[in-house]
Chain A
Amino acid sequence: MVQDESNNPGGGTDSSDVVGMSGSWAAPEFVEPHVFDHSAESIDSLEWARDGLAEAFPAYSAKTRFTTPQRAGFILMALVVVAGFAFFPIGTGTVMLGLSMATYLGVVWFRLHLVMITARQRTSRITIPDDEARAFPESELPTVTVLVPAYHEAEVIGDVVTGLANLEYPQHLLQVMLLLEEDDIDTTEAVGSLELPDHIKAVIVPAAAPRTKPKALNYGLLTSTGDIVSIYDAEDVPDRLQLRRMAIAFTRCGPEVACVQAELAYFNADENLLTRWFSIEYRTWFSQFLPGLKVTDAPIPLGGTSNHFRRDILVPLGGWDSYNVTEDADLGIRMYRQGYRVELLDSITLEEANTDVINWVKQRSRWYKGYLQTWLVHLRHPRQMYRELGLRQFLRFNLFVGGTPLLAILNPVFWFLLAVWFLLEPAFLRQIMPAPLYYTGLFLWLVGNCLIFYMNCITAYEYQQRSMFKAALLMPLYWVLMSLAAIKALWQLLRDPAYWEKTQHGLSRVRTGTGDGRPTTDVPTPALIATGVAEAGSE
């Protein structure tokens, strides 16, 4: 599995260069769960975990919120807009609306395009049947390190340990690292009370800003020994054969494939209206948008978990950006820019869907903020990015990574304008919307919303479950929540960009004790998820 340097198509930096920025670094010792200890020698590792990327590749790190040219550009734009509204309010309003509509059109069109591609081409994911996965010779399997960052996850850490222990992968080739934060006493104690198998270890990450998941992942990455580094969240229930499938997938791919991304779904999808909406959206994302991106060879923003990296590529790239709150999406784009590719794996990891609205808004606002961060980071040098990606992929990157939060931000603007026009028909709206703009905007807004609504209905239909379909029919209410989260994200991007809105897990009534990808619950399980897991071959 180890790739020769000459096979590095992106010419990624050698790992020694990255490490060399701090001269040397001390790997943290594995600690026994009941003897948590972190010593002064771990500081260098912490430095790398925190600022490794920012120092080696500052242009790729969100440590700097806005570069000077970006800041100047935004200020200039703001001035132009303010001056425009002061002196030419009608013309400025028209231009602003026109730009918004063009953005809206682009994003909606691109999503429809992805769905159409997925509908036509259904082979964009690598599928490994159960028997093939089990029959693969052990001698050809790579060593794997599984990183599980856990912060305030005392409620669920037991489940994930059970789930990981049940993974069908030779233990001597597997290294599981639970990344615990120094000040998280509850989780630490919870882990301490568990009897961990030999291949599962706990690592204490020193408490230091930024308090983000990527920093913990970087910390774990330095001590990892596997050829492959896999990421799971603390509440994850991966398909038992996922690591074997992933290993086989890598053998089928070319040297340019740096990551294999498994599909994510929720074990409590049918718990309440919010989880149903969330599940439908997630399913749309993973079963329609990402395969479409894959087919078009567009940059794929990775999901936060169940992604499996080649360590020999990940380390030279500088690991994760500890200042980016969607470090996964950012890494996907960064890999793409270096010439690496992502493959999608037909294997499901079940997660816990947010059951609480406030908790959901927090999580979603972090995602949107992260997408905005990623967008801004990669557009620091747009001409360079354009040269690296070419026109098509450059546009696709903007439409998908930038478009996702922008769509959620623009939607309420258009709803508001429509409501105002409908109720009051103010003269200024008529003035700022000349006929072509008005009709185009009206058409796009109506058709765009209908298309997105229908995409969700299609996804819900695939669940083969009545409650999911009913939820899909109410999906526009979910869009309101999305817009609230997007506005919050925008505000937070300006105020506190690296702040990690912690998503509280363990709120679900559905428990996942078996660790085989099937919940143990009295809440009905979505047929699709159950089927998906069964098809993925956990049993």
Chain B
Amino acid sequence: MTVVAFFEFLAAGWWMMYVKLYSLGDATTRTLNAKLMVLSSDPHLGAIGFYWMPIPTFSRIPFVLLLEPLGAAAFAGPMTCAFFGALTIPMLASTGRVLGAPRWLVVTVCAVFALSPLTIYMSSNGMSESTFACFIALTLLAYARWSRSHQVWDLVFFGVALALGTATRYEMLIVAPFLCAGVAMQLPRARWVRAFTLAMIPTLLWVAVWALASKLIMKDWIFFLHASSGLTKVPEHAPWLPENRTLANSLKYSGELVAVLAPGIVFAVAALRRTFRATFGLLAGALALPLVSAYQVHTGTSWAVPRFYMVLSVFSVVAVLWASSPPTSNAAGAPRGRRLRPWLSFAGVGVLIVGVISATLHLAVQRATGPEGEYIFFRYLLGRDTVSTPILGSPNQLFESDLHQYYVLRDELDPVLAQGKKVATDVSNFETLVTREPRQYVVPENRNFELVAADPIGRFDFVVVVKSSAVSFHGQALLDAIHAKTAVGTWVMTRDYTNVTLWEFVPTGKALTTGPDAGKLPATTAPTPAGTTTTAASPTVLGP
């Protein structure tokens, strides 16, 4: 089932990326970071960005290296997602076995999980959710093992799995204390603090390591927080969120999504009487995510798109297995419980299937209000038309769905780059991802970027500037560099793509090499205050 699921997810990813030309911006950026870490003109760890947790980016490096020779590095994102999505299935199956769930139930819930459009979406969109789901499944497997064995090595396994989850997404920091409390409370009270601490140590150590690395490399202990405060400011008008974001409305928003995407969680309640503390920890861990998310919606600190809630489907599956299993893997349990369990199993499978349908419909029908990523996928899945909604308030309306322009740009630039020319570019220029000449790029991730931008003479021949103010961090630096250029040549904007513009430096008396006027001398020139001459378009229009 794992292998079949892998190819299922892979096919979905292929369909989205190459048939529908659809790719989420953050997914592409992660893959780009991975590529820059190993295949740029200055390969280094700092290219990881220190904005997101690193595992989703690190883990796609092998796939980038595998696919780069085929010119398909961009597909490393969906491939990584498919890998982790498929890996989640044996984890869930192992959890079922540890809990002593009947084989038919384990196989059925794994099949439902693998065929769910939620899982397919998570495992093919190139984002971090499937990796996160995989580590949540690993954590819950360890949780189940610990609940059955109380062996210290299972506690260690649990702690390490939690840390891996934390190294994947920050949200695990919300779940971790609840699950750790659930782990500790299964022991006599005198041992609670030690068990809790031992389980939390790997996570805390990871956070410390991440902060220290962030400080050493980015000169900021909490770079991600400072970076995200500028980036993830929730727009006032986010149509999928409640218009009036009171706490009650925010809770309602989160609650609805939990009910629609992961209704199986409610099954954990059935096990509360049998194993109260363990089940309480499981439930608390599962519900902590949407509760905190609701609070963030209320305070305007999270986009809280439905994608963030999709990992709850793992909790949903485990809750059904948990409720349908005997208290210990080899025990039959009380007679009444024994009679109830088959019915609980059937009901659990039914609820999981209902959840799959409700989630698909819910995400597909919200044409006017749905966030672009989820909305487009589920509309496509049901064979419906899609209309991209400009949710970012940016001129780049198709930011998240159009990779095509970068392939066109690549085809234009790669031949001249192969001759040794250099191009400086912005952080979110995905052309860097699809090019076959990555070493010719000067990108903000390069440690000498500021120097190069400040003194560009002879250091680069082209500039690619991202238009969107929301994602262009270094465009201004590049434009300033152009202004500071002495009058030894001319900067010409040779192409205007959907998301980016291409600028070429043309030495005095030389012809253009790119754009529709390639081979001709620049048409007009206009002196700038700094002595630089620019043509065709004023660079100031490109500034944020």
Where the two chains meet, the residues of A that have a C-beta atom closer than 8 Å to any C-beta of B are: 119, 421-422, 435-436, 439, 442-443, 446-447, 450, 453-454, 457-458, 461-462, 464, 466, 469, 473
Chain B, 93-129, contact with A by CB distance < 8 Å: what is the 0/1 string? 0000000000000000000000000000000000000
Residues of B within 8 A of A422 (CB): 216
**Minimum CB–CB distance for B212 against chain A, Å:** 7
CB of B336 within 8 A of chain A? no
Chain B residues with CB under 8 A of A453: 201, 205
Bound CA–CA A439/B447 (angstroms): 14
For chains A and B in complex, what number of residue pairs have CB atoms within 8 angstroms?
A: 52
> Nearest chain B CB to A148's CB is how many angstroms away?
35
- The reply to whether the CB of B332 lies closer than 8 angstroms to some CB of chain A is no
Q: Does B252 interact with chain A (Cβ within 8 Å)?
A: no
Cα–Cα, bound, A235→B391 (Å): 76
Selected contact of B216 from candidates A421, A450, A462, CB within 8 Å? A421
In the complex, are the beta carbons of B152 and A454 less than 8 A apart? no
- A435 and B42: CB pair below 8 A? yes
Give the top 6 A-B pairs by smallest Cβ distance, nearest first.
Answer: A439-B45, A435-B44, A450-B205, A119-B153, A446-B209, A461-B198
Q: A119-B153, A446-B212, A462-B152 are in contact. Are A469 and B197 (CB under 8 A)?
A: yes
Q: Which of B40-74 contact A (CB under 8 A)?
A: 42-45
Contacts of B197 in A (CB 8 A): 457, 469, 473
Which residues from B are CB-within-8-Å of A435? 42-45, 447
Residue on A nearest B159 in the bound complex, by CB: A454
Please give me the residue from chain B that is nearest to A119 by CB atom.
Answer: B153
Q: Knowing A119-B153, A421-B216, A439-B45, say if A458 contacts B209 (CB, 8 Å).
A: no
B484 within 8 A of partner (CB) = no
CB distance from A123 to the nearest CB of B (A): 14
A289 to chain B, nearest CB (A): 15
Asked if B373 is an interface residue, CB under 8 A from chain A, the answer is: no
Interface membership of chain B positions 189-202, coded 1 if the CB is closer than 8 angstroms to chain A and 0 otherwise: 00101110110011
CA distance A421 to B215 in the complex (A): 11
Residues of the A chain whose Cβ atoms lie less than 8 Å from the Cβ of B193? 466
CA distance A469 to B212 in the complex (A): 25
Assembled-state Cα–Cα distance A453/B209 (Å): 13
Knowing A435-B44, A439-B45, say if A464 contacts B191 (CB, 8 Å). Answer: yes
Across the interface, name the chain A residue whose C-beta is closest to B216. A442
B213 contacts the other chain (Cβ, under 8 Å)?
yes
Q: Which residues of B contact A (CB under 8 A)?
A: 42-45, 152-153, 155-156, 191, 193-195, 197-198, 201-202, 205-206, 209, 212-213, 216, 447
Given contacts A458-B152, A458-B156, contact A446 B198 (CB under 8 A): no
Q: Which of B191, B206, B209 has the most CB of A within 10 A?
A: B209
- Whether B45 lies near A457 (C-beta < 8 A) is no
Contact B45 A454, beta carbon cutoff 8 Å? no
Q: Which residue of B lies closest to A465 (CB)?
A: B194
A446 close to B213 (CB less than 8 A): yes
Q: Which of B42, B198, B213 contacts A457 (CB 8 A)?
A: B198
Least distance between B47 CB and chain A CB atoms (Å): 10
CB-defined contacts of B191 to chain A, threshold 8 Å: 464
Contacts of A461 in B (CB 8 A): 152, 155, 194-195, 198
On whether the beta carbons of A454 and B201 are closer than 8 Å, the reply is yes
Please indicate the chain B residues that have their CB under 8 angstroms from the CB of A462 in the complex. 152
Q: A449 to chain B: closest CB distance in Å?
A: 9
Question: Would A119 and B205 be within 8 Å (CB), given that A422-B216, A461-B194, A469-B194 are in contact?
Answer: no
Question: Within 8 Å CB of A119, what residues of B?
Answer: 153, 156
- Chain A residue with Cβ nearest B194: A469
Q: Contacts A435-B43, A435-B44, A450-B209; is A466 near B194 (CB within 8 Å)?
A: yes
In contact, B194 and A439 (Cβ under 8 angstroms): no
The complex places the Cα of A313 from the Cα of B22 at a distance, in Å, of 73
A287 to chain B, nearest CB (A): 11
For the complex, what is the distance from the CA of A466 to the CA of B216, rounded to whole Å? 35
Selected from A421, A439, A446, A457, the residue in CB contact (under 8 A) with B201 is A457
Q: How far is the CA of A446 from the CA of B167 in the complex (A)?
A: 14
B152, A439: Cβ atoms closer than 8 Å: no
**Inside 8 A of A436's CB, which chain B residues have their CB?**
43-44
Pairwise interchain contact B194-A447, C-beta atoms closer than 8 A: no
Nearest CB in chain A: distance from B193 CB, A: 8
Closest to A461 in B: B198
Are A454 and B205 in contact, CB atoms less than 8 angstroms apart?
yes
Residues of B within 8 A of A450 (CB): 202, 205-206, 209
A19 and B113 CA atoms in complex are apart in Å by 75
Minimum distance in angstroms from B192 CB to a CB of chain A: 11
A439:B198 contact, CB within 8 angstroms? no
A458 and B212 form a contact (CB under 8 A) = no
Pairs A–B under 8 Å by Cβ, sample size 30: A119-B153, A119-B156, A421-B216, A435-B45, A435-B447, A436-B44, A439-B45, A442-B213, A442-B216, A443-B45, A443-B213, A446-B209, A446-B213, A447-B209, A450-B205, A450-B206, A453-B201, A454-B201, A454-B205, A457-B197, A458-B198, A461-B152, A461-B155, A461-B194, A461-B195, A461-B198, A464-B191, A466-B193, A469-B198, A473-B197
Identify 12 new A-B residue pairs, CB closer than 8 A, beyond the known A421-B216, A461-B195: A119-B153, A119-B156, A435-B42, A436-B43, A442-B213, A447-B209, A458-B198, A461-B194, A461-B198, A462-B152, A464-B194, A469-B198
List the B side residues contacting A446 at CB < 8 Å.
209, 212-213
